[in-house]
Structure 1
């Protein structure tokens, strides 16, 4: 996948591909090939910030009126909806779509940095138009596989946005001394590797879910998307196409989804994030 920047406008590719889901998905063959910010208008205050961007999408599966669908959402650092839209493309080719958001064409003004762009391989068409809450909800509620996620800090281009708080997603590459995979303060579950499987506990210490080595082996590594290994007591465990693992559940306050990804059962370098459903 190609990532481009124009002038001073920095686009950072998030290393993990997050699947915002609480249920298993079928695999889809769609790909997002590139994402480019083409224009930014700064104005005289942060609420004047306007962005235009292109994304190139390779369509492979006819899902709606003979087209393959892709949808995207933009949220700010607090998870507040900023923008959303979708498009359908005919299978067998790559297409570039140009989209934008800004004053008068935005769901909510952003309240924190950075802006997070998430592209989904959706299967049902949302309402027509762009940048309204109905479209945003229709895309997110499909629980579709995520094609790619990008992060953009508006303060890089506009000093007017520098006063907004920057909220860094929780992540770590170290392990707690008791061997847990995710030593995150406030995590809704704690995961351990046990006998080549996974034991998942509530923060209070009660066992929440057991995933056996046999269950993991039976799923293997999917060729694309995310394959459900096991779920129970509100926790879902997936294997991703790069053979890494993803676990998720509702956050402690129930308002967000906590997502944990780690490389393997032996290399438990991990990343975690909480997102609004």
Structure 2
């Protein structure tokens, strides 16, 4: 198998991946995984390295050493792609791999925005008449909002792509069953019980309470939404990460604020309108 074919097979779903992930972050991650492939590394090793890089970035942001922070945040983003690739290529994922990956992702991003808030408050307290820390908060909240909405439409797209609206809920139910079995075992490790309980709570929160109802014909939905999911990706996590890296690498935080607060929220409104038009077309086609 050629490297290109192997790279494509290492992706979760090439049609549902963000452009920057497919053509920037993940190719670098793939090369790292391939070069270190002979070593006895696990996906959790990459998750730990990603965690260290993310919190190192947060520390440098806090100290207002933005270029070093940008470098380590870039490293965090690349290593964050490595764990899943390693698991798919070597098939050596762990029981809690996805949970650890998600936890590292959330905590590192939160730590970096907190560190950035303190750093810019020291280095450049005001941007025009606006306290810069307010802009960091607005950018961070915008990123969180965009990621939640992007994830909603991504999961909807994947449900139609698989022809299965309840695959996420079934994964949650499997976790519930694992937890029940573990609780019934008096010799079960307290650490595993804690991890299962936390993982179940985390997954339930992500999944929501009910399965997705596939109201439209799957092939028609995918055809109509293929472009939309690519356009939603313009405010996905990868673009937020890229703007943060390049803005701070060149000491121009206003690039991040302009993208996250102005462009990102404007694009969000445009895409919500566009998505509703797609739904109307799909409903008309089924009428």
Instruction: Calculate the TM-score normalised by the size of structure 1.
Output: 0.26
Choose 1 or 2 for highest CA Rg. Answer: 2
Whose relative contact order is higher, 1 or 2, with alpha carbons under 8 Å and at least 6 apart?
Answer: 2
Judging by fraction of residues, say which structure has more strand: 1
